[in-house]
Amino acid sequence: MHRYILKRIAMLLLVMLGVSLLIFFIMDLAPGDQALMILGEAATEEELNALREELGLFDPFFVRYGRYMWGFLQGDLGYSHKYLSDVLPLYLERLGATVVLALASALFAHILSIPMGIYAALHQGKVSDNIVSALAIVGLAAPNFWVGLLLIILFSLKLGMFHSGGFVTLSDVVLPAITVGTANMALLTRTTRSGMIDVLRSDYLMLARAKGVSEKMVVRKHALKNALIPIITVSGIQFSAMMGGAVTTEAVFSFPGIGTLLVGAIKSKDTVCVTGCLILTSLLVSVTLLAVDILYAYVDPRIKAQYSK
């Protein structure tokens, strides 16, 4: 197992090196003059060139990339002139809200999707299975902004149960979490259903039933355990995507997360902030996927057998 974990960590470092280089290259091509944004339109060409020289903007690309990554390793991601703050503390300040939203969305999705998927698999082909499948399709097809607006109209404007935006108390996370979790719940329901159907048809479960094992024990102890592998994979991908910031949902609910921060920086052409946010988000997503890979290894006996030799 240790070899597997070390291999995944080495792959993560290589991926992050490539991703950071790609992000820095793309942002280097982006329109906009960092010196002009700092000094404003009233600055003379001599003042702009002096600042460009000070910022190292005349240096070759790989020199600037190397200098940026060296600062990145020391926690220096530059200064955002839109938000008037260093990028790292600005990002960490918004990270908490995004983590809370991601956890709440994942909790909402898993609490509903796994029981619904199991129920649909046990009643395959029946009316209840068709209803669950139809709900899952609707959940996948419904756009996040549409679901969010409906929730605001119903629970904020009509019933007055929740605030329509912002993040002051934990109750403010409920509607955004349901909005993000709806599509995730739909996909997880379909994944759970498909995985359970495949496992329930397997020969070893038929043998367990023939030996007199109760159906509840077959489902809980044997079927669900083996169906967890695709569920964990889909859950990990969904959670890592949510950790990157649910941009549409955050915009609808004015939620102060990473997505809102990134959109504001893009609108203002704050390339320093955008570059830092994208690289940090890539690192965050990669670490989340690494954790999923490690969990996957403990669940899948084939990986254990491969790396225990």
CATH numbers and ranges of domains, the chain: 12-74 (no CATH), 90-267 (1.10.3720.10)
pTM of the predicted protein model: 0.80
Mean pLDDT lowest among 39-48, 156-165, 191-200 = 39-48
What does the pLDDT look like over 260-288, one tens digit per residue?
888 888 888 888 888 888 899 888 888 88
Residues of the chain with pLDDT > 90, as a percent, come to 1
Q: How far apart are CA 230 and CA 159, in angstroms?
A: 39
> Could you tell me whether strands 79-80 and 85-86 are parallel, antiparallel, or unpaired per DSSP bridges?
antiparallel
pLDDT bin (cut points 50, 70, 90) of residue 213 is low
Instruction: Name the token pair of 269.
Output: 């052409």
pLDDT higher than threshold 80 for residue 203: no
CA distance 232 to 236: 6
* Mean pLDDT computed over 230-239: 81
Q: pLDDT tens, 59-118?
A: 888 888 998 889 888 888 888 887 888 889 999 988 888 888 888 988 998 888 888 888
Q: Please tell me the predicted confidence (pLDDT) of residue 235.
A: 83
Contact 100, 173 (CB under 8 A): yes
Task: For residues 309 and 306, give the distance between their C-alpha atoms in angstroms, rounded to a whole number.
Answer: 6
State both tokens at 159: 């019933």
Burial of 89 (0-12, 13-18, 19+ CB in 10 A): exposed
Looking at 189-203, 251-265, 292-306, which range is the least confident one? 292-306
Helix (H, G, I), strand (E, B) or coil at 206: helix
Q: How far apart are CA 259 and CA 193, in angstroms?
A: 32
d(CA 111, CA 104): 11
Q: 266-302 burial, b for 16+ CB within 10 Å, e for fewer?
A: eebbbbbbbbbbbbbbbbbbbebbbebbeebbeebee
pLDDT at 248: 78
Give the model confidence (pLDDT) of 82-96 as tens digits. 788 888 999 998 888
Kindly state the average pLDDT of the residues 154-177.
86
Alpha helix ranges (H) inside the chain: 2-29, 34-39, 45-55, 61-73, 87-122, 127-141, 144-151, 174-200, 203-210, 215-217, 224-243, 247-252, 258-267, 271-299, 301-307
pLDDT band at 303 (very low <50, low <70, confident <90, very high): low
**Averaged pLDDT score across all residues of the chain:** 81
Report the distance separating Cα 97 and Cα 172, nearest Å: 11
Q: Per DSSP, which regions of the chain are E strands? A: 79-80, 85-86
Cα atoms found within 13 Å of the Cα of residue 126, Cβ hemisphere only: 7
The contacts of residue 239 (CB under 8 Å, 6+ apart) are: 102, 106, 288, 292
Indicate whether 244 pLDDT > 70. Answer: no
Q: Work out the average pLDDT over 34-42.
A: 69
Residue, of 305 and 151, whose pLDDT is higher: 151
pLDDT, residue 83, reads 80
Position 1 scores a pLDDT of 64
Q: What is the pLDDT of residue 224?
A: 72
